Amino acid sequence: MKTNFLTTAALVATMGLASVASATELRLSHQWSNKDIRHKVAQIVADGVAEANVDLEIKIFGSKSLFKPREQYRPLSRGLLDMTVLPLSYAGGQQPAFNLTLMPGLVKNHDHAARLSASPFMEALEQKMADDDVIVLVHGYLAGGFVGKDKCITKPEDVAGMQTRAAGKAFEQMLAGAGASIASMASSEIYSAMQTGILNAANTSSSSFVSYRIYEQVACYTPAGDVALWFMYQPLLMNKSTFEGLNAEQQAALLAAAEKAEAYYLDEAKKEDADSVEVFKKAGVEIAEMSTADFEAWRALAQETSYKAFVAEVPDGQALLDMALAVE
């Protein structure tokens, strides 16, 4: 009996090990620290899948530990990477249409961004991703604003003659159209550039303004509020063939976790904007507000600069732009 019991126990243990060994592991890459909202979105999905107990594990490689930020989309599309959270405009070199996801004046606020994510415009972009063997699991936008070293920036004429850093090519085109001189640099370099007098204005995300302590170098902050110029689409993506290769239970677990993560993403993105205002206020920085009239003036300028350039560069650019602008 003892021998039979041990044999049975060994068999059960072996079966258990086989079950663990057969669990599918997915690799998820991103560029941020584990304190960043985008890592937390990925973690919600990973935790949700683990809790579903469907023999599926998501292993997260953050802080650029697996791929460089702008080198994630290509391996994702080729099945060399399973999942990533990244600004979709980073893949604009492969799919120029994706540059529309970092376009000034295209998104008014977070609720408008959510409507864009559920619109025919996003469906068109998702079809282009599907052509690359990529699907969206979690939609999400992050917002940003302007800072001025010596004055507030709310309308186009405010930047005339200023040396400014812009977040992306489209913003550079628009700001140049307003009479600003452009200095291209990473957001991590804004602080020192302002400190040394290279810059006297900048725009980037709310979280970057805080994490890089830009409030120590500026007199005025125009945050994302009821309207904002700077919105960047930063979804959680997955290789389409990898998703289709999972069983029905695993797919359902992924989609359920993704739905939970998307709701969190929207709520936390709004909180980041509000939190950044409090940080700047405590530092003694003046807080300016962009009015709807200011926003429309910027958008009119973007239409003559950034939008025109996009349409000229992308074969179906006008149709995509019209779909985006049709979302109220």
* pLDDT computed for residue 184 by the predictor: 85
| Residue ranges of domains in the chain | 25-98+110-142+232-271, 144-230+275-325
CATH architecture of structural domain 25-98+110-142+232-271: 3-Layer(aba) Sandwich (3.40)
Higher pLDDT, 137 or 167: 137
Separation CA 254–CA 106 (nearest Å): 30
> At residue 159, does pLDDT exceed 60?
yes
Separation CA 98–CA 314 (nearest Å): 10
3-state secondary structure of 182: strand
Separation CA 113–CA 142 (nearest Å): 9
pLDDT-based confidence at residue 288 (cuts at 50, 70, 90): very high
3-state secondary structure of 85: strand
pLDDT-based confidence at residue 276 (cuts at 50, 70, 90): very high
When pLDDT is averaged across residues 269-286 and rounded to a whole number, the result is 96
Domain spanning 144-230+275-325: CATH superfamily: Bacterial extracellular solute-binding protein, family 7 (3.40.190.170)
* Fold equal for 25-98+110-142+232-271 and 144-230+275-325: yes
> At residue 13, does pLDDT exceed 50?
no
3-state secondary structure of 296: helix
Q: pTM here?
A: 0.86
> At residue 66, does pLDDT exceed 60?
yes
* pLDDT computed for residue 22 by the predictor: 61
Q: Are 94 and 74 spatial neighbours (Cβ–Cβ below 8 Å)?
A: yes
Long-range contacts of 62-67 (CB under 8 A, 24+ apart): 62/30, 62/31, 62/32, 62/33, 62/34, 63/31, 63/32, 63/33, 64/31, 65/29, 66/27, 66/29, 67/29
Q: Are 133 and 36 spatial neighbours (Cβ–Cβ below 8 Å)?
A: no
Q: HSE of 292 in the Cβ direction (CA atoms, 13 Å)?
A: 1
* pLDDT computed for residue 168 by the predictor: 80
What average pLDDT is seen over the chain?
Answer: 91
